[in-house]
A and B are shown apart, each in its own frame.
Chain A
Amino acid sequence: MSLLIIGILVVLALVLVLAAMYNGLVRTNIRVAEAWSDITVQLKRRADLIPNLVNTVKGYAKHESGVFDAVTKARAQTITATSAGPEATAKAEGEFQQALKSLFAVAEAYPDLKASTNFQDLQTELTDTEDKIQASRRFYNATVREFNTKRQVFPTSLFAKMLGFTADKEFFDVDEAEAATIQKPTDVQF
């Protein structure tokens, strides 16, 4: 009789432990999803700044329409590409950065534009948005670290697959082409 009670208690303890493991993994998993979504929030904020920037530059440099069209088109592509998958997103991001570079290169040729407070404010906002994107990516990495660690430590690693958590999340990464460019020191020319 007492053996039965011991058996029941052991099973109960096991169930409680499994429940705790599962809940821990569920919580960290949801945090990862939220952190990923937060990166998109910052990217959207950057996208929203761009029309203002284009209009300000247009006010001083009306004839550079080629550059404006390129920037507007690239911006639209980054928005549609987020639903098309990470590879399309990375490609659209690269083209967007290029278009922005040409826009600022144009601004170099117009001293009135450079001096306008509107333009300077927008530049500060853009820099701050890039800082925010970096901050949200860093936080995303932290949540991925928590999840992967929880999933791989003993004893959770024995049960993770059974509970439905089959794979680790990926840390934020850049594709090979961009990796090649960013490993080189940046060329700053005036």
Chain B
Amino acid sequence: MYSDITKNKRKTWLILAAFVLVVGLLSYLLSRMYNSPSLAISGTLFAVTYALISYFAGMRLSLAVNGAKEIKKSDNPRLWRTVENLSITEGLPMPQVFIMDDPAPNAFATGRNPDHAAVCATTGLLDIMTDTELEGVLAHELGHVKNLDIRVSMIAFALSAVVSVLADFILRMTWFRSRDNENNNPYIMIAGIVAAIVAPFVALLIQMAISRRREYLADATGALATRYPEGLASALEKIGQVGSVTRKQNTSTAHLFFANPLKRSSISSLFATHPPIADRVARLRSMDTHV
């Protein structure tokens, strides 16, 4: 379990480093193509500001958009007690607890740090799961809060936005060229245009790779908190059979959920926010064979 956690954390940093390299490459190409980086800088600033605003306002927004309602202990003591006891085990302050009215079993966590966090479970989850399975799912969600995954995904989103702005700028400038400050080397121009077209796809792939990596990490953290990976594994299996597609479909909050809430489409697994359920179950079940 511990090695799973360290490996996942290390891989996240590698992916983020690759992301920064992509941004660096685009900026370099841009500055070689045209000698005026000022527009690119202001575009980047805008993208980063947008990311910061969504980071701070994000929790309330993602809860509202999914129709989550906050509960007190007396509304659902079983859910409340599970979250409370898990927070004690993890050494976290207790997050706000929400319930979402939906027959699909699923849960999500949001909040920029453990002091401002919220956990939400669907009514379907509360009906279908046994106590140990519910504990596993909520431990996974609290793992997201503990590992500051919202912050990681914000950084990834900000980098992705910067890539989009830079790529967009390169393509725009290609249409409206001013002859005086343009670099006349055709290879640089071609490289820049190709990079500008490809870069947003690469950025999305990297963002999804980070999201999947953090899901594995949250699985491992949750298994460590409960010392019982089987609880998580059997919860995942149940969800695999019943289906996790929620009534409300929001692509912007999909990555926050325990299992993919979006309707299955034939998009390649590289664009999936969550790893395949069979893979997650296999990893959890192998956790008692290694440290």
Residues of chain A touching chain B, judged by Cβ–Cβ distance below 8 Å, are: 31, 35, 38, 42, 124, 128, 131-132, 135-136, 138-139, 142-143
Contacts and interface: CB of A to CB of B under 8 A. Distances in A.
Interface of B: 77, 81, 84-86, 88-91, 227
B62 to A, nearest CB: 28
Contacts of A35: 91
B89 A138 contact: yes
Contact of B85 (A31, A124, A135): A135
B90 A139 contact: yes
Contacts of A142: 91
Q: Of B84, B85, B90, B91, which is in contact with the most chain A CB atoms at under 10 Å from its CB?
A: B91
A147 to B, nearest CB: 13
A128 B81 contact: yes
Contacts of A138: 89, 227
A136 B90 CA distance: 9
Given A31-B91, A131-B85, 12 more contacts: A35-B91, A128-B85, A131-B81, A132-B85, A132-B88, A135-B85, A138-B89, A139-B88, A139-B89, A139-B90, A139-B91, A142-B91
B88 A135 contact: yes
A177 B77 CA distance: 36
Nearest to B224: A142
25 contacts: A31-B91, A35-B91, A38-B88, A42-B88, A124-B77, A128-B81, A128-B85, A131-B81, A132-B84, A132-B85, A132-B88, A135-B85, A135-B86, A135-B88, A135-B89, A136-B88, A136-B89, A138-B89, A138-B227, A139-B88, A139-B89, A139-B90, A139-B91, A142-B91, A143-B91
A135 B77 CA distance: 17
A31 B84 CA distance: 19
Contacts of B89: 135-136, 138-139
Top-4 shortest CB links A-B: A135-B88, A135-B89, A135-B85, A139-B91
